[in-house]
Amino acid sequence: MHCVLRSDDLFVIQRAKDVLEAKGITCLIKNQFASGAMGEIPPQDCIPELWLLDESWAPRAERILAELDERPQQGAWHCPQCRELNEAQFAICWNCQDSRD
Ligand SMILES: [Zn+2]
């Protein structure tokens, strides 16, 4: 298997997984629930990771993820309260639950 993404922000990992799977690239999240086990395992093993089931998809997956970073989604908005970036379909901030208006 091949790790394509590491981030301590599970939201980022989950979004990348959704995008890849929409394109037929099967992947899985490791350490998804690791924060609850913090203290029992070393912190570097607690960072959520996105893994491809098939390594041959890696170049394609990495290109898709690179494009994702470059182009913010249409309609994405920054929270007026905490400045987090939210996806267009959400009416409230994922981070602080403030409304987009
Ligand atoms: Zn917010």
Q: Are 57 and 44 in contact (CB under 8 A)?
A: no
Mean pLDDT in consecutive groups of 10 residues from the start of the chain, 101 residues:
89 92 94 64 75 94 83 80 90 93 82
The mean pLDDT value of the chain amounts to 85
Half-sphere exposure of 27 (CA within 13 A, CB side): 33
Sequence spans of domains, the chain: 2-70, 73-101
State the distance from the centre of ligand 1 to the C-alpha of 100, rounded, in angstroms.
Answer: 8
Residue 46 pLDDT? 76
SS3 content of the chain, % helix, strand, coil (to 5): 35, 20, 45
Cα–ligand 1 centroid distance for 9 (angstroms): 15
Residue 45 alpha carbon to ligand 1 centre in Å: 28
Ligand 1 center from residue 55 Cα (angstroms)? 36
Cross-strand pairs, 29: 50
**Right CATH number for 2-70 from 2.40.160, 3.30.70, 1.20.1300, 1.20.120?**
3.30.70
Compute the distance from residue 2 Cα to the ligand 1 centre, in Å: 33
